[in-house]
Structure 1
Amino acid sequence: MLTGDQYKASLSDGRATYFEGERVEDLVSHPILGPAVQNVADGYDWLATQAVDGQSPLSGIPTSPQDLRDKVDLVHKAGMMAHVTYTSLMTLTTAASRLSKSAPQYVDRINAFVEDAQRRDLRVTQCITDAKGDRSLSPSKQDDPDSYVRVVERRSDGVVIRGAKLHITAASFGHELMTIPTKAMRAGEEDYAIAAVIPVNAPGVKIINTTYAPRHDDLRDFPVSGIEHFPEGFVIFDDVFVPTERILLDGEVESASVFAHSLGLWERLGGLSSMADGSDVLVGLAQLIAEANGLDRVGHVKEKISEMIIHATVVRACLEAALTNAETGIFGAVFPNELYTNAGKYTGAANYNLMVRHLHDIAGGAIVTAPSRADLENPEVGDLARKYMSTRGDVDGEYRTRLFHTIRDLTADAYGGWKQVTNVQAGGGLYAQRIVTRKHYDLAAAKGAALRIAGLAESEGPSGGF
């Protein structure tokens, strides 16, 4: 296992990463990106305390529903970088299972990479979303053929790829880029049916970073994003050579969608798990600020919080169903149930903005106008600010102010905006989740039940509770 310090040292490998127009020579000491690097290092050190026989607890694959549940809990505690790594490796494990019949020649390569990454305790990020160009056109019909990552040269020992992958969380902080097709490909699009694992410091890889990290000296006013934030990477492959042993798919258009579907399952499980916890936090904040405002017994406020509670409970129930009804692949790995994973992720994302609206309605405008912590400490205005931020004798002005800062940071500032977009887009948009949910729902059984109720079934059985 790597230590946090060893991880930080591993980033000094010549990688080409950029932030706000300048190349970042030292990620560890960078004023904006450096604290996020330290978060990853802290995650490494925490995982070392959970090691089993000297191996990272991220190693191995889940072989039972309980094992899967334990892994999900573990990666959330270990932080974003552990999450994206585990998601990437389980995506490959899932893809290997699904490719065993259609493209078996890649299975050994995939398994070898997963085992090596786990053995060396590497961090891996998933690169899936292409620049895409004109969304109404397929990859082969684009004005710029590089709008989707493609093979531009084939050699005896590998291929050269060109293109870009967008929205890649923590791309600059990992060791490997799991690069996969973003969609199904058609005949004639063989060059776009390319999947590979590429070192972050490979010649030609260039990463532009954006971040919601707060740009304030006093991070006390940012209790969420000030503690943990990660950049999004705009990953450019500027004629990058990929050796044969790192190619996981090359030209098999009929198998191109396997990787995207595999990633979607694990990305949506991670999103569902995060939403389950996050929904409880929104309920808690709504109740706390209602109490601080003296509105916790008002009918419409109680009704809004009740709706938030129902939402949180349904999302949590879908997560529990996805884990409890886990399915086993041909190699013995356990995967979350696709029906409940997708239905839960859709429900959580589709209703998130309404839950935030309820929270804002309950809390009030001070979400975005409350004075800073430094203002409360100012000798001239601090006492007055605390006085007028109080609501009654048992509600301290600083306490209420800090609640407002938390609500703003979580739902109404840079991180809050990132969260709203990410909830919808991570793991594919809402429409994709509806498609997969419908695919895995037993519609035939539902039709059969309806026919029995209507007395139209050939063999009428029990009414099914009606």
Structure 2
Amino acid sequence: MRTGQQYKESLADGRLTYFEGKQVDDLETHPILGQTVDATAAGYDRFYDPAPDATSPLMTVPRSADDLREMIPMLHSAGMMAHVTYTSIQTLKTAAGRMVDTKPDYIERMDAFIGEAQRDDVRITQCITDAKGDRSRPPARQDDLDSYVRVVDRQRDGVVIRGAKLHITGASFGHELLTIPTKAMKPGEEDWSIGCSVPVSAPGVKIINTTYAPRHEDPRAFPVSGEHHYPEGFVIFDDVFVPHERVFLDGETHYAAVFAHALGLWERLGGLSAFVEEADQLVGLAQLVAEANGTAGIGHVKEKISELIIHATLIRAALEAAIAHCSIGPEGAAFPNELYTNAGKFQAAANYSAMVRHLHDIAGGAVLTSPVPADFENPDVGALARKYMSTRHDVDGEYRARLMHTIRDLTADSYGGWKFVTNLQAGGGLYAQRIVTRKHYDLDAAKQKALAVAGLADAEH
């Protein structure tokens, strides 16, 4: 296993990564991106085991509902790079389970890659969303055929790929890029049916980073995003060679959707588990700020907090149902229940904005206008800021301001805007969850129940 310091040293591998128009030669010392390096290194150290044969528990394939249940809090504590690595490994295991007895060579390659990743304690980022070009056209009819990542050359010992994958969280901070089709492919789209793993440092890989990280000298007014932020990568494959042993799909169009659906399942489980944690945070912030404002006993405030509590409880129930009703694949790996995972993720994402609206309504305009911590330290105005941010003798003005800053950072600033979009789009938009939920819901059983209650169970229809 790697220590955090060994992780930092592993990033000096010649990778080409860019931020705000400039190439970044040293991620660790960069004033903004370096914070992500530190957070990822801390995740390594938190779970480090010096035993010679130890492997990271963050990369373990779950074998039961209990394994799934125990893994979720570990991933939250280890950070985003551990999460995307776990999701990548489970995506490959899920895809392998759905290709068993049909593509043994690909399954052997996937298993070998997973074993290598576990032994070397690497971080893997999944790359799925293509540039897509004109969304009304399939890959082969685009003006630019590189709008979807494709094979441009097949050689004796591998393939050459070209294209770009967008919205890739933490792309510059891992070691491998798991690159898979973004959707189902049809006959004639063989070149775009490519699944493989590419080292971040491979020749031809270039990554452009964007981030919601605050650009302020004093990060105390950003208690969440000032501590942990994970840039998004615009990953470009500029004629990148991939050896055969790292190719998991090449031209078999009927298997392209297997990878996309497998990743969607694990991304949505991760998204649902994050929603559950955040929903409890929103409840806690709403109650605390209502108490600080002196409005906790007002009827409409209590009703809004009750709605927040119900929302948090129901999505937690969906997460527990997804885990408790998991299935075991042909290789013994456990997979969350598709129905409960997708329905829960949909419910959480579709109602997130309403829950945030309740929180803003309870908190008030001070979410945007509270003095920052440095103002309270100013000898001229600090005492006055504390005086007028206070609501009564037992509510310190700076304490109330810190609650407001947390609400703003989580829901109403750069990070909050990122979350609004990400909550809808991560793991596919709401429509994707509708499709999968409908696919796995027992509609025939529901129809029979309806016919029975209507007295038509035996009727011709």
* TM tier relative to shorter chain: over 0.9
User: What are the residue-to-residue correspondences of 1:48-447 with 2, within 5 Å?
Assistant: 48=48, 54-447=54-447
Taking only aligned residues, the RMSD between alpha carbons, in angstroms, comes to 1.3
Residue pair 1:50, 1:57 contacting (<8 A) in 2 also: no
> Partners in 2 of 1:55 and 1:15 — Cα distance?
26
Q: 1:250 to 1:53 in 2, by over 3 A?
A: closer
Post-superposition CA distance 1:60-93 (Å, at most 9, x none): 3111110111112211111111000000010011
> Partners in 2 of 1:195 and 1:34 — Cα distance?
30
> Partners in 2 of 1:82 and 1:257 — Cα distance?
25
TM-score norm. by structure 1 comes to 0.97
User: What are the residue-to-residue correspondences of 1:27-46 with 2, within 5 Å?
Assistant: 27-46=27-46
CA positional deviation for 1:51: 8.1
CA positional deviation for 1:53: 6.3
Gaps of 5+ in 1: 460-466
Classify the secondary structure of the residue corresponding to 1:28: coil
Q: Number of residues paired by the alignment? A: 459
Post-superposition CA distance 1:165-214 (Å, at most 9, x none): 00000000000000000000111110000000000000000000000111
Q: 1:429 to 1:50 in 2, by over 3 A?
A: farther
Residue pair 2:59, 2:85 contacting (<8 A) in 1 also: no
Gaps of 5+ in 2: none
Q: 1:168 to 1:52 in 2, by over 3 A?
A: same
CA positional deviation for 1:160: 0.6
Classify the secondary structure of the residue corresponding to 2:14: coil
CA positional deviation for 1:437: 0.4
Residue pair 2:59, 2:89 contacting (<8 A) in 1 also: no
Counterpart residue type for residue 77 of structure 1: S
Post-superposition CA distance 1:317-350 (Å, at most 9, x none): 0000001111111111000001000000000000
CA positional deviation for 1:52: 11
Q: 1:434 to 1:152 in 2, by over 3 A?
A: same
Residue pair 1:102, 1:255 contacting (<8 A) in 2 also: no
Q: 1:362 to 1:50 in 2, by over 3 A?
A: farther
> Partners in 1 of 2:253 and 2:283 — Cα distance?
46
> Partners in 2 of 1:217 and 1:398 — Cα distance?
19
Which deviates further from its counterpart, 120-129 or 46-55? 46-55
> Partners in 2 of 1:330 and 1:456 — Cα distance?
41
Classify the secondary structure of the residue corresponding to 2:447: helix
Post-superposition CA distance 1:277-297 (Å, at most 9, x none): 100000110111111111111
CA positional deviation for 1:59: 3.5
Residue pair 1:286, 1:363 contacting (<8 A) in 2 also: yes
CA positional deviation for 1:54: 2.4
Match of residue 462 from structure 1: none
Post-superposition CA distance 1:187-244 (Å, at most 9, x none): 1110000000000000000000000111111111110001110110000000000111
Classify the secondary structure of the residue corresponding to 2:214: coil
Residue pair 1:50, 1:56 contacting (<8 A) in 2 also: no
Counterpart residue type for residue 90 of structure 2: M
| Runs of 4+ residues over 2 Å off in structure 1 | 49-55, 101-105
Counterpart residue type for residue 197 of structure 2: V
> Partners in 1 of 2:99 and 2:211 — Cα distance?
36
CA positional deviation for 1:55: 2.2
Post-superposition CA distance 1:413-440 (Å, at most 9, x none): 0110111111000000000000000100
> Partners in 2 of 1:416 and 1:195 — Cα distance?
33
CA positional deviation for 1:49: 5.6
> Partners in 2 of 1:103 and 1:49 — Cα distance?
36
> Partners in 1 of 2:50 and 2:385 — Cα distance?
45
